[in-house]
């Protein structure tokens, strides 16, 4: 019996559109598929995937492995670009990035070459920490970020860098301000300005049927 893919997405949590070599739990995606909580999505070199969830669009960049969990993504390695009005959370090892308000927010998050990177493209993003590494391939989803410490705020047009360390939580420079000021802070934490041209970049993926999907405000 035929039924719309949108209904499947409503039950499953999201729809994934693939361009290039993309797998879900190791199974190739030739065009599109519904995704469930706990599914592991991997993009091979040169491949891109577009994940549509209620209130959120996620571009999964090439050579990225993530676990999907309703309103959470867990990055094993690689990078994603998120546009969300539902405060989608992105976890990378100990770090968790999420929009600070329910207003439409765009940000990128990456775990590449031993560095956690979060760039606020539209709106502001808060960075908080859990008590243990969270890996996409782990059977459990890992610890919930601590609510004791005030999150680091990355304002629109700024980028946050955190070098990975063994053990959690990450420790930033003692006395460093929680709100980004646009200047470069000394390592292991750095918040730097993003060129205006980079803020304006929108990644678009065309799924079957020719309708473009991009992380822009609906």
pLDDT at 183: 30
pLDDT at 200: 36
- For the chain, the straight-line distance linking the first and the last C-alpha, in angstroms and rounded, comes to 31
pLDDT at 136: 53
Contact in structure between 147 and 86 (CB atoms under 8 Å): no
Paired tokens of 6: 């949108």
SS3 for 22?
strand
* Confidence bin at 140 (pLDDT 50/70/90): very low
Q: pLDDT, tens digit, for every residue of 95-134?
A: 899 999 999 999 999 998 888 899 999 999 999 877 655 5
Q: Quick one: DSSP state of residue 4?
A: -
Q: pLDDT, tens digit, for every residue of 158-201?
A: 999 887 665 565 544 433 333 343 333 323 333 444 443 343 33
More confident residue, 145 or 73: 73
Query: What is the distance between the alpha carbons of residues 196 and 55, in angstroms, rounded to a whole number?
Result: 26
Nearest residue to 111 (alpha-carbon basis) of 96, 126, 130: 96
Tell me the average pLDDT of the chain: 74
Q: What burial class does residue 26 get, using C-beta atoms within 10 Å of its C-beta: 0-12 exposed, 13-18 middle, 19+ buried?
A: exposed
Mind listing the domains of the chain with CATH numbers? 5-199 (2.60.120.1440)
Which stretches within the chain are classed as H helix? 5-12, 196-199
């Amino acid at each position: 019996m035929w039924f719309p893919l949108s209904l499947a997405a409503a039950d499953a949590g999201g729809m994934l559109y693939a361009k290039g070599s993309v797998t879900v739990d190791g199974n190739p995606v030739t065009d599109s598929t519904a995704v469930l909580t706990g599914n592991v999505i991997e993009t091979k070199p040169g491949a891109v995937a577009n994940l549509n969830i209620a209130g959120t669009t996620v571009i999964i960049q090439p050579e990225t492995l993530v676990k999907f969990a309703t309103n959470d993504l867990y990055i094993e390695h690689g990078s994603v670009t998120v546009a969300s009005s539902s405060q989608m959370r992105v976890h990378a090892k100990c770090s968790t990035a999420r929009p600070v308000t329910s207003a439409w927010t765009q940000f990128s998050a990456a775990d590449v070459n031993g560095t956690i990177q979060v760039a606020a493209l539209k709106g502001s993003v808060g960075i908080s920490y859990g008590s243990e590494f969270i890996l996409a391939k782990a059977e459990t989803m890992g610890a919930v970020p601590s609510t004791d410490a005030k999150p680091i705020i990355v304002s629109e047009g700024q980028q946050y860098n955190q070098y990975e360390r063994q053990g959690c939580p990450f420790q930033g420079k003692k006395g460093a301000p929680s709100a980004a000021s646009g200047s470069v802070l000394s390592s292991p934490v750095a918040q730097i300005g993003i060129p205006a041209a980079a803020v304006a970049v929108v990644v678009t993926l065309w799924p079957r049927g020719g309708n473009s999907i991009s992380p822009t405000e609906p």
